[in-house]
Amino acid sequence: MSIRYHLPPEWAPQSGVMLTWPRSDGDWSPDYASVERCHTQLAKEISLREHVVIACMDALHADKIRRLVKNAGGRVERLRLFALPSNDAWARDHGPITVLEDGRPTLLDFIFNGWGNKYPHGFDDEITRKLHGLGAFGAVPLESFQLVLEGGSIEVDGTGTLLTTESCLLNPNRNPHLQRKQIESELRRLFGVDRILWLKHGAIDGDDTDGHIDTLARLCDPHTIAYQTCDDKNDPHFAELKAMENELRGLRRQDNQAYTLVPLPWPAAVYDHTGRRLPATYANFLIINGAVLVPTYNDAADAAAVAALKPVFPGRDILPIMCRPLIYQYGSLHCVTMQLPAGVIPEINLT
């Protein structure tokens, strides 16, 4: 099957980032002010460097978001707000995955089924198509596919490698009619990759995505992987994350050399009111033009996580974003964002 597309890596030039602003009347309502502060900080930092496409509740909500971002010091003229119904805020998984075809962007729209029908998802599954219909992505074409796939489940290096997890992509709650070889064939065809690296280990308590790669191990360039570690032998995650680390040590680059591995520190355990452990992970960072936005959790390890990523991304600012409120809904910074490569939104200054 011929390769149609090329999926650029996250560190490639971007025209914008998509957010779906949390609803005040949904799951976020118990601590909505804190969650909104997190999103405001995200929108501010992104808007200083590129556009922000935001799905929001209605016109009044859009006006409030503009005021919040303006007061925070953001570039309001770079906000593009669209009123749409939504179930939740996880734009990484219901937003478009943008590929290049002969250098021109095309938006790919996949089925979003609430991470295996765990949660209501009907509105979120329609957001990409509705945003496209409203002109949020200019004249960029959109193609929809009958494949369940979330953006948080894949990492690419732009040179032919895709990194993912067996626990998510091979889970029967996604595409039960497809076998591993068929899924690999689709990944190669749709994203222009020629090899797929599968991880078997890395489960984190509180993660309801069945093991998204963006909570575990991240390609930072074609030679480097930053990954979540656990150095506490008494922590239930120790053995599983050590097994993942050993898997990563065994992976090889396209040139058959070992990857440069960058361990990220382990934050202290955080629990919700029911006693459920929450998935705090520093691997859930976002690369944007000129910066890397790093989730922090008001934890002693925050500074070490930021310091670990500084040498990995020379020339980019490493900016901490307080994301503790996000993990109470079982995700973090990367999960609520979806980058839009250069060419998707016109009239953007990439310098």
Q: Can you tell me the distance from the alpha carbon of 108 to that of 130, in angstroms, rounded to the nearest whole number?
A: 13
Give the residues across from 217 on adjacent strands: 227
Return the structure tokens found at 300: 């002693």
For residues 222 and 26, what is the distance between their CA atoms, to the nearest angstrom? 39
Q: Find the distance separating the first CA and the last CA of the chain, reported in whole Å.
A: 38
Both tokens of 16, joined, read 């914008």
Q: Who's near 270: CB < 8 A, 6+ residues apart? A: 277, 278, 280, 297, 324, 327
Residues 18/337, Cβ–Cβ less than 8 Å: yes
Distance of CA 319 to CAs 260, 263, 287, Å? 22, 18, 10
As a whole number of angstroms, the distance between CA 183 and CA 17 comes to: 27
What does the alpha-carbon distance between residue 31 and residue 328 come to, in Å, rounded to a whole number? Answer: 9
Catalytic residue among 38, 56, 323, 335: 335
Question: Is 168 part of the annotated catalytic residue set?
Answer: no
The Cα 136–Cα 145 span in angstroms is: 20
As annotated, the active-site residues are 335
